[in-house]
A and B are shown apart, each in its own frame.
Chain A
Amino acid sequence: MRRYRWLAALPTLGMLGGLPFANRVRPYVAGLPFLLAWIVGWVIATSIIMALIYRLDSTRDADAALTTPVDRAKRP
């Protein structure tokens, strides 16, 4: 099971779900109006979340490749 893959839904839910509340000019964040900062923040978060999923997937794929069916059968 790769339940962590559900994290990929987070950007869509966060970015769009929070939009009605984020639809404001103040407070400014890093010089940007709040709505703009909100969206930019989520776009950056998308990359970070996808990087996390990619790392987790890569380690699991590597594990799966190392353990052949024979190895798995030998396990207690």
Chain B
Amino acid sequence: MTPALGIIIGVFVVAIALGLMARRGHVMSLEQWSVGGRGFGSVFVFLLMAGEIYTTFTFLGGSGWAYGKGAPALYILCYGAIAYSVSYFLLPIIWRYAQAKKLVSQADFFAVKYDSRALGVVVAVVSVAALVPYLILQLKGLGIIVSEASGGIVSQQVAIWTGSAALVGYVVVSGVRGSAWTSALKDLMILVVAIGIGVYLPLHYYGGYRAMFEAIELARPGMLTLPSSGMSPAWFISTVLLTATGFYMWPQFFAGAYTARNENVFRKNAVMLPLYQLVILFVFFAGFTATLVVPGLKGADVDLSLLRIVERSFGSWTLGVIGAAGILTALVPGSMILVTAGTILAQNVFRVITPTASDRTVSLVARSMVPVLALAAVLLTLRGGDTLVVLLLMGYSLVTQLFPALLLCLGANPRVSAASVIAGIVAGELTVVFLTVTSASVATLLPAAPQVVKDLNVGFVALGVNVVVLSIVAIVTRARALTATAPEASA
């Protein structure tokens, strides 16, 4: 056994222990399991909300984008800051309503606001369709990190099965408390690792940041700015706006807001989180260093750039620490996804089908869904072909379609009928599927448009279809409602 493997196993065991211990002193009702009994203070909510920015995607994908694409990677820094500044105003509204109505899921929020179980089911289906691919992405990352860091001793399959089994164990036992406790360990390790390598690597290979960027600009002119077509400023701005819109539409972060003890928690976090996510900058530095130090990675392999440069630069010990941090970036989001998906299936699908079910039964169903979901994700991870990539690309676009429905119900009463938002969401989702399957872009849809329009993120097309269908149905249903009530009003 190499030192790296020893460290990885050690941290893995500690993480599971933390996850299991998180349950202590709490009776696990559904409210406790799904939203931590609404008792989390600033630190736990902070860690859960920071979970979004430090997933395996940021760790491997962020450095991979910096390595392969350069400046376009910076969009990752922007959307978080914008979403957090909006969260200051948005999350207290959501939290207050959830607290008053004792909601446990995002689908609950829509179902109760619009007084429509059907809408709850639609949102539940969208949520699970977006969450399972996201879980698969985490498991894939986990497999890559463990097999690379262990020097191939542990195969990807073994890593994925073991990781998932541990995940299921502590999620079933501790629910969202397990996520919160393990994320404390994760963030601590990520901070040390990211800042450590982000500071060390550029200094070691180039002697300084400016020297590194000048070398990159010389070898790859244009890599440090956005190109004039393709990933241009128009692409960048539209992508940042779209991603910031979808940010809190992810069911696990939406419901993550329910865990807060009071609404001041969100305000404090909106101050801290933009600064905190600058840690991603150091991950970019590692990716930029790798550009010229370990050149030649192509296609999906760019995601290995971080691990390759670390292998080349450090001994087995450091590799182990980085591998362990990488595992945690997969386990924590993975656990939040499992809690959320289990809750949604039990609360917004099972309870609708079986209205007589007791709270105890619903809670049991939520937890029994965890191994089922995890097994499905593992099998898809190990067998997944190209269809999987398509699903992954769709995830963010799928959840973004919920945004108009949220915006229209933030006031005391929803501004439109449940039927209209259902129609909008369904139309939007179908558009997302169509656009993704045909890999359309605005350029292919509107070949005659000016370049600025062509570069816009295609996600806006789906959102546009959503809003148009929603408006038409809203106008029609409102007109009908008026004609139906008119005779009574005059009588």
B418 within 8 A of A: no
- Inter-chain contacts of A15 with B (CB < 8 A): 78, 81-82
Interface residues of B toward A: which range? 35 or more
B351 within 8 A of A: no
Tell me the bound Cα distance from A43 to B84 in angstroms. 10
Query: Secondary structure of the A side of the interface?
Result: helix
- Inter-chain contacts of A11 with B (CB < 8 A): 81-82, 85, 274
Report the nearest A residue to B210, measured CB to CB.
A31
B225 within 8 A of A: yes
A47 engages B275 (CB within 8 Å): yes
A33 engages B217 (CB within 8 Å): yes
A40 engages B71 (CB within 8 Å): no
A33 engages B224 (CB within 8 Å): yes
A16 engages B224 (CB within 8 Å): no
Contacts A8-B85, A46-B81 given; does A23 touch B226 at CB 8 Å: yes
B267 engages A57 (CB within 8 Å): yes
Report the nearest B residue to A33, measured CB to CB.
B224
A65 within 8 A of B: no
B84 engages A44 (CB within 8 Å): no
A18-61 vs B: 1/0 string, CB under 8 Å?
01100111001011110110011011101101110110010000
Contacts A42-B81, A43-B77 given; does A50 touch B88 at CB 8 Å: yes
Tell me the bound Cα distance from A24 to B217 in angstroms. 11
Tell me the bound Cα distance from A43 to B213 in angstroms. 21
Report the nearest B residue to A5, measured CB to CB.
B89
CB distance from A9 to the nearest CB of B (A): 8
B392 within 8 A of A: no
CB distance from A43 to the nearest CB of B (A): 5
CB distance from B124 to the nearest CB of A (A): 31
- Inter-chain contacts of A50 with B (CB < 8 A): 84-85, 88, 270-271, 274
Report the nearest B residue to A43, measured CB to CB.
B81
**7 nearest A-B residue pairs (beta carbon):** A31-B209, A31-B210, A46-B274, A47-B275, A33-B224, A46-B81, A47-B274
Interface residues of B (CB under 8 A from A): 71, 74, 77-78, 81-82, 84-86, 88-89, 208-210, 213, 217, 224-226, 233, 236-237, 240-241, 244, 267-268, 270-272, 274-275, 277-278, 281
> Could you list 11 A-B pairs, sorted by A, with CB under 8 Å?
A12-B82, A23-B226, A31-B213, A33-B217, A35-B74, A35-B224, A35-B226, A43-B77, A46-B82, A49-B85, A50-B271
